[in-house]
Amino acid sequence: MADELVHREVAGGIATITLDSPHNRNALSAQLRRELLEALRNSIADEAVRVILLTHTGTVFCAGMDLKESRSESAENQGINEVPGLLERIWNSPKPVVAKLGGPARAGGIGLVAACDIAVAAEGATFAFSEVRIGVVPAVISVTVLPRLHARQAHELFLTGETFDARRAEAIGLLNAAVPEAELDSAVERYLDMLARGGPNAMAATKEMLRRPRPDDLDGNFADMLRLSAEHFAGDEGQEGMRAFAEKRSPNWVPERN
């Protein structure tokens, strides 16, 4: 549809979800939030999809909440109330989600980046937790951002609202890689190719394992992890993977990619 703000395309096992609202710097308007959540749900439910790529048109990845919609609204009617569901859908997706940034992210846009499993940006991209400078708190996005950032850096950047570049974003754990703009496509493609080779059940279980808090009980943790490992070794997917390895071929879940 010509008036949609989020596009979804599936090819070669990759669901590409594109934010396409450059007139307001891909801000999280009500329409964009609604369409993005639907695209994520459809991609997660689609058996042909192995990896989800979140990208954008225009010069800005995402400017955060649409402030025009937030003005004069009560706390109950603020669009931010819908953001936890959006971030949770990305964070808890059983399929890996990759963010590709050709330009800046601000506030809630950084929350999206942090919720993704892998994030790659062009070196020219910039970032800022700008909430405090307009008198609001980066509360909701902190749920996905704080697990990524070094604590000292989080205090500085959340409290000052200072703009920082992609190289610093990489150094503090927000990005996996900051690359020259000319290399952005190839860097993202490298991650997509590697992720698409993983068994879908194994990937989902590994993501769930990574989200778990580390228990204090070492023996209990080993017991849980042993059960998880043995189930997947003995499962259909694990058995197919081992056969494929022995036969020097790709497992049957690896999609055909151009």
8 A C-beta contact, residue 6 and residue 18: yes
Measured from the Cβ of residue 37, the count of other Cβ atoms closer than 10 Å reads 16
| pLDDT score recorded for residue 77 | 52
Predicted TM-score (pTM) of this structure:
0.93
CA 38 from chain center: how many Å? Answer: 15
What is the percent of the chain where pLDDT is above 70? Answer: 94
pLDDT interval class at 74 (50, 70, 90) = low
Query: Under a CB-based contact definition with an 8 Å cutoff, are residues 140 and 169 in contact?
Result: no
Cα separation, 197 vs 203, in Å, equals 10
Q: Which helix (H) or strand (E) holds 88?
A: helix 83-91
Query: Residue for token digits 């992609």?
Result: 166
pLDDT: which is higher, 44 or 217: 44
What are the phi and psi torsion angles at 209 (to 5°)?
-60, -40
Q: Is the dihedral of CA 46, 52, 53, 57 positive or negative?
A: positive
User: Which one from 131, 237, 247, 256 is the annotated catalytic residue?
Assistant: 131
pLDDT at site 70? 65
Residue 137: CB atoms within 10 Å: 10
Please, are residues 179 and 187 in contact by the beta-carbon 8 Å criterion?
A: yes
Whole-number Å distance between alpha carbons of 8 and 244: 32
How much is the pLDDT for 218?
85
Cα distance between residue 2 and residue 16, in whole Å = 17
pLDDT mean over 136-141: 94
Q: Where are the domains of the chain?
A: 6-195, 199-247
Tokens of 249: 């071929």
Contact 43, 80 (CB under 8 A): no
Q: Supply the mean pLDDT for the chain.
A: 93
Residue 217, phi then psi, degrees to nearest 5: -80, 100
The C-alpha atoms of residue 111 and residue 174 are separated, in whole angstroms, by 10
From the list 61, 74, 9, 8, the residue with the least C-alpha distance to 37 is 8
CATH architecture for segment(s) 6-195: Alpha-Beta Complex (3.90)
Each residue of 15-41: pLDDT tens digit?
A: 999 999 999 999 999 999 999 999 999
C-alpha to C-alpha distance for 145 and 245, rounded to whole angstroms: 37
47 is catalytic: no
pLDDT digits (tens, 9 = 90+) for 154-209: 999 999 999 999 999 999 999 999 999 999 999 999 999 999 999 999 999 999 99
Average pLDDT of the segment spanning 122-138:
96
Closest to 2 in 3D by CA, of 24, 28, 20, 22? 20
